[in-house]
Amino acid sequence: MGPQKPWISVTWRSCLGFPLAGVLAAIGMAVASALAVFFGVAALPKILTMLMVGAGIGAGIGAGLTMLRVDSIPSWPILLGAGLALSAASFGGAWVGFQIGGYITAIEEARCVGVCPYLFKPRTYIALGAALVPNIIALLFNIGYEGVFGRFARARHARPDGTLGHSNGAGSDGAHAAGSSS
């Protein structure tokens, strides 16, 4: 078996993170819609806020799941903090997606005057924005973590004997580094 390629895992996590976050954002929006109907929420700003929060929680969870590594799962406070940070970023992405979606919808209405179908519904822009932002953050974190502390850094410091770590010239047994001289 050859040397491990850490960039492959980062690439796969990024490729799988966006669809998972998008699906969980849509599920979060469906739950928010059901809660709005169940509790009788009629004000549009409240419904939009519920949709954005639902999409944010779902997409934040999806991006957080793909950011985890099987070989080193952090403690629960770190997981909770990362989940809350990604959900907050996802809520911001949902708001930006809604704003951009409104702008694109207005352009489509001006061109077609109600005759052409929309490219996407406004809810789709909320889910896309909610899924895109935390995945970009998770990708940057993964690249930074793998590059500075993780497997990328260890791969740069591989010893001639194939083991990882800094080479001290002592070979694999480390006798010269331990202070024994002959």
Query: Tens digit of pLDDT for each residue in 84-128?
Result: 899 899 999 999 999 998 888 778 777 777 666 766 777 889 999
**pLDDT value at residue 93:** 93
What percent of the chain stands above pLDDT 70? 70
**pLDDT value at residue 176:** 46
Instruction: For residues 56 and 58, give the distance between their C-alpha atoms in angstroms, rounded to a whole number.
Output: 5
Contact 89, 62 (CB under 8 A): no
Say which residue, 27 or 154, is predicted with more confidence. 27
Residues 6+ positions from 59 with CB-CB distance below 8 Å? 21, 22, 24, 25, 28, 86, 87, 90, 93, 94, 127, 130, 131, 133, 134, 135
Q: In this predicted structure, which of 54-63, 139-148, 165-174 has the lowest mean pLDDT?
A: 165-174
pLDDT band at 175 (very low <50, low <70, confident <90, very high): very low
Average pLDDT over residues 17-45: 91
- Each domain of the chain, given as residue ranges in start order, spans 6-156
**pLDDT value at residue 9:** 74
Residues 6+ positions from 156 with CB-CB distance below 8 Å? none
Residue 38 has pLDDT above 80, yes or no: yes
Angle, helices 76-112/6-39, rounded to nearest 10 degrees: 70
Q: Count the helices and strands in the chain (H runs, E runs).
A: 5, 0
Instruction: For residues 58 and 71, give the distance between their C-alpha atoms in angstroms, rounded to a whole number.
Output: 24
Based on C-alpha coordinates, what's the Rg of the chain? 23
State which amino acid sits at residue 41.
V
Angle, helices 76-112/122-148, rounded to nearest 10 degrees: 140
Residue 70 has pLDDT above 80, yes or no: no
Instruction: Give me the chain's average pLDDT, please.
Output: 78
**pLDDT value at residue 53:** 93
pLDDT band at 57 (very low <50, low <70, confident <90, very high): very high
